[in-house]
């Protein structure tokens, strides 16, 4: 693994991402459509924090699958995966792409979260806990998402496969994230130690992805 | 083969003829002799699949991939049987088929993982690639097990009867019932071993 190569892969991803805006645009529009759909259907009726937290994470999960599944797909389709293989080692590519995934998911959340708060008139009693929960959740999603994207590239039937594969893997992050987000919305007694299991599973996912990626790539 | 069949018949006979109706549960208790062994097998099959997946990635032998896939197929059938029998038991004792009790969540996630694994296998055409990606997925999904088994059930209140191996280290069960249940578990493991060797 090489820091400079990771940065170069990241720069390449960012340039490609900015040049072909379709992926990020579809991710944002998917999030907006899902939000509008839920908000319209509920007609502004007041919701409990646990329902709101669940809705928020469902949108985050499905919107991220719309963008993340293309991490290796575009290169596989245009036949440039071999060039990438020649240029950098597996670990630099994995971490370069993972950081790119995290950046695009953070951009998505920067748009999604305020829109969600406005549309659902959602209370946020503990903003720092909410932000940390979302950051830890996104780290897990991008870590597992990058590896699962590499797996699903090999598949002949792709539609829906990515979310089917990703959901069970990120569930240990998803469930505590919903609990913590709900607590951060409602306020009251929250200790930051509740974030530790999430952080631990993020670390496990990153290490496992790093080990397993070598087997897929080589 | 015949020995396994006779052993299984013996267990079935014991469940209906020897095991006494349980206090509070009556004859419903007989469901657990089907429910617990199938749940046990679905977890054993999960780890067996991960073991063969790791072996495949090390040695690249197609037979390891086949064993890993076979364990998942057996595990998938068992997890479905266990879920259905559990839901029936739940309806008859707690009044609802499903209420996302932590143990129901755990078993449901196992169904999702098994289903995702089989979908991935069906979606990849090339044999070597299929073996590689399914092995990686099998190992990745096994990471969630400690969370599902140890952390999740402690996060929420559960109605599920205490497992045999519980934190207090005691076994609250009639001796005959316990002996038959342990024999049923041994029988299930034997059937799994036979199916894996075929």
CA distance B21 to A216: 53
Q: Is A69 helix (H, G, I), strand (E, B) or coil?
A: coil
Q: Are A122 and A52 in contact (CB under 8 A)?
A: yes
DSSP assignment string, B32-45: HHHHHHHHHHHHHH
Name the nearest CA neighbour of A176 among A67, A82, A53. Answer: A53
Q: What value of ipTM does the predicted structure carry?
A: 0.89
pLDDT of residue B11: 81
CA distance B192 to B8: 12
pLDDT of residue B154: 66
Q: Is B113 on the interface with A (CB under 8 A)?
A: yes
Residue A122: give the domain boundaries.
3-217
Mutate to test the interface with A, among B104, B109, B124 (most CBs of A within 10 A): B124
Instruction: Show the CA angle centred on residue A137, arms to residues A186 and A106, nearest 5°.
Output: 100
Q: Nearest Cβ partner of B136 from A155, A168, A212?
A: A212
Mutate to test the interface with B, among A152, A158, A165, A173 (most CBs of B within 10 A): A165
Q: Is B22 helix (H, G, I), strand (E, B) or coil?
A: strand
- Tell me the C-alpha to C-alpha distance, in Å, between residue B195 and each of A28, A45, A187, A200, B76: 48, 54, 53, 37, 13
Kindly determine whether residue B143 and residue A175, on different chains, have CB atoms separated by under 8 Å.
no
Higher-confidence position of B150 and A130: A130
Residues in Cβ contact with A211 at an 8 Å cutoff, skipping those fewer than 6 apart = none
% chain B with pLDDT above 70 = 87
pLDDT of residue A208: 94
Give the best-scoring range by mean pLDDT among A65-74, B3-12, B69-78, B156-165. B69-78
CA distance A113 to B93: 43
Q: First-to-last CA distance in chain B?
A: 11
**Nearest chain A alpha carbon to B141:** A169
Q: Does an H or E element contain A40, and which?
A: helix A22-42
Residue B54 pLDDT level (bands cut at 50, 70, 90) = very high
pLDDT of residue A34: 93
Name the nearest CA neighbour of A129 among A53, A173, A51, A192. Answer: A192
Kindly determine whether residue B136 and residue A216, on different chains, have CB atoms separated by under 8 Å.
yes
**Nearest chain A alpha carbon to B118:** A165
Q: Is the pLDDT of residue B20 over 80?
A: no
CA distance A24 to A116: 18
pLDDT (tens digit, 9 = 90+) per residue, B61-86?
A: 999 999 999 999 999 999 999 999 99
Name the nearest CA neighbour of A49 among A108, A116, A115. Answer: A116
The residues spanned by each domain of chain B are: 2-197
pLDDT string in tens for chain A (218-residue length)? 678 888 988 898 888 888 878 888 888 999 999 999 988 988 878 888 889 999 999 999 999 998 888 888 888 888 888 888 888 888 999 999 999 999 999 999 999 999 999 998 888 888 889 999 999 999 999 999 999 999 988 888 777 899 999 999 999 898 889 989 998 998 877 777 778 888 999 999 999 999 999 998 87
Q: Nearest Cβ partner of A215 from B115, B124, B136?
A: B136
Q: Is B171 helix (H, G, I), strand (E, B) or coil?
A: coil
- Residue with tokens 């903003």, as numbered in its chain: A127
Higher-confidence position of B105 and B172: B105
Instruction: Give the distance from CA A203 to its chain's centroid.
Output: 15
CA distance B181 to B93: 20
pLDDT of residue B172: 61
pLDDT of residue B165: 47
Kindly determine whether residue B132 and residue A197, on different chains, have CB atoms separated by under 8 Å.
no
CA distance B110 to B42: 8
Q: Could you give the number of structural domains in chain A?
A: 1
Kindly determine whether residue B155 and residue A157, on different chains, have CB atoms separated by under 8 Å.
no
- Residue with tokens 């083969």, as numbered in its chain: B1
């Amino acid at each position: 693994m090489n820091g400079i190569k990771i940065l170069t892969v990241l720069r390449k991803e960012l340039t490609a991402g900015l040049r072909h805006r379709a992926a990020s645009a579809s991710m944002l529009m998917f999030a907006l459509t899902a939000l509008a759909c839920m908000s319209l259907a509920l007609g502004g009726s007041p919701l409990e924090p646990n329902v709101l937290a669940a809705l928020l994470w469902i949108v985050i999960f499905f919107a991220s699958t719309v963008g993340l599944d293309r991490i290796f797909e575009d290169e596989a389709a245009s036949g440039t995966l071999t060039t990438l293989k020649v240029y950098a080692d597996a670990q630099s590519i994995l971490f370069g792409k993972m950081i790119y995934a995290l950046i695009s998911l953070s951009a998505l959340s920067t748009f999604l979260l305020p829109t969600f708060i406005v549309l659902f008139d959602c209370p946020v009693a503990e903003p720092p806990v909410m932000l940390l929960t979302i950051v830890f959740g996104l780290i897990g999603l991008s870590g597992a998402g990058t590896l699962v994207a590499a797996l699903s590239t090999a598949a002949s039937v792709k539609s829906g496969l990515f979310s089917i594969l990703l959901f069970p893997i990120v569930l240990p992050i998803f469930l505590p994230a919903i609990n913590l987000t709900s607590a951060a919305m409602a306020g009251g007694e929250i200790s930051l130690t509740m974030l530790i299991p999430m952080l631990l599973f993020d670390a496990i996912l990153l290490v496992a992805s790093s080990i397993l990626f070598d087997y897929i790539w080589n | 083969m015949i020995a396994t069949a006779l052993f299984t018949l013996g267990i079935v006979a014991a469940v209906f003829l020897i095991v006494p109706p349980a206090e509070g549960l009556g004859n419903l208790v007989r469901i657990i002799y089907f429910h617990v062994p199938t749940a046990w097998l679905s977890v054993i099959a999960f780890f067996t699949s991960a073991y063969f997946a790791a072996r495949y990635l090390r040695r690249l032998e197609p037979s390891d991939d086949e064993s890993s896939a076979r364990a998942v197929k057996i595990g998938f059938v068992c997890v479905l049987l266990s879920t259905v029998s559990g839901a029936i038991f739940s309806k008859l004792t707690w009044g609802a088929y499903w209420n996302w009790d932590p143990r129901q969540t755990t078993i449901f996630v196992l169904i999702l993982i098994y289903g995702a694994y089989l979908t991935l296998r069906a979606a990849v055409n090339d044999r070597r690639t299929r073996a590689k990606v399914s092995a990686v997925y099998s190992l990745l999904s096994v990471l969630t097990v400690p969370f599902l088994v140890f952390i999740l059930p402690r996060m929420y209140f559960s109605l599920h009867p205490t497992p045999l191996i519980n934190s207090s280290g005691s076994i609250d069960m009639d001796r005959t019932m316990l002996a038959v249940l342990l024999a049923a578990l041994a029988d299930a493991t034997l059937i799994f071993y036979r199916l894996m060797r075929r």
